Amino acid sequence: MASKKIAVLVGSLRKQSFNRKMAKALIACAPAALDLEIVEIGQLPLYNQDGDDEGLPAPEWTAFRERMRPFDGVLFVTPEYNRSVPAALKNALDVGSRPYGQSIWSGKPGAVISVSPGAIGGFGANHHLRQSLVSLAVPVMAQPEAYIGGAASLFDAAGNLANDGTRTFIQEFMNSFAAWVE
């Protein structure tokens, strides 16, 4: 059986982001059934429908849309900013959902994992993102839910996951996601 190509979108643009570190840990522990790849979103100009309406979409929008089309599913790794998702991630959702009727998201199975230094692990962002994904026709894996708190203590100096309990949890999460995508 061929592996499923999964795009990994990281909501944080920070170089030493806990979410980027987690994305790399998720990729490292993914089962062979999944082929994960981080797709960058920081280069996308803010979405303005005028560009599509006038037939002049930003080249970065077109490149992102084309890059995302061949993926079989999407894994979202996000921090929480003000009880929601970062603007860069929301912008990527908007860019990919347009022009109307040509969404790159529709029907792609997805999963959400939120990572935060706080105790509740980005619960608000996780659920806010899930709400947006419903409107984009992304069937989101319901269980297990993944809210990773205390992120500042999860990684070693090299950025590798250093917490065995978290490692076990994300391996189980990825196995469940592989079954969901299948």
Cβ count within 10 A of residue 158: 7
Question: Which pLDDT band, with edges at 50, 70 and 90, does 140 fall under?
Answer: very high
Q: What is the pLDDT of residues 34-43, one digit of tens each?
A: 999 999 999 9
Q: What is the pLDDT of residues 61-72, one digit of tens each?
A: 999 999 999 999
Written as six digits, the tokens of 101 are 């009727």
Return the H-helix or E-strand segment holding 5.
strand 4-10
Domain chopping of the chain, boundaries = 4-181
Return the H-helix or E-strand segment holding 78.
strand 73-78
Residue 1 clears pLDDT 80, i.e. is over it: no
Rounded to two decimals, what is the model's pTM?
0.96
Class of the CATH domain delimited by 4-181: alpha beta
Mean pLDDT, residues 104-116: 97
3-state SS track over 86-146 = CHHHHHHHHHHCCCCCCCCCCCCCEEEEEECCCCCCCHHHHHHHHHHHHHCCCCECCCCCE
CA distance 134 to 53: 25
Q: What is the DSSP letter of 29?
A: H
Average pLDDT, the chain: 96
Contact 140, 108 (CB under 8 A): no
Q: What pLDDT score does 2 carry?
A: 82
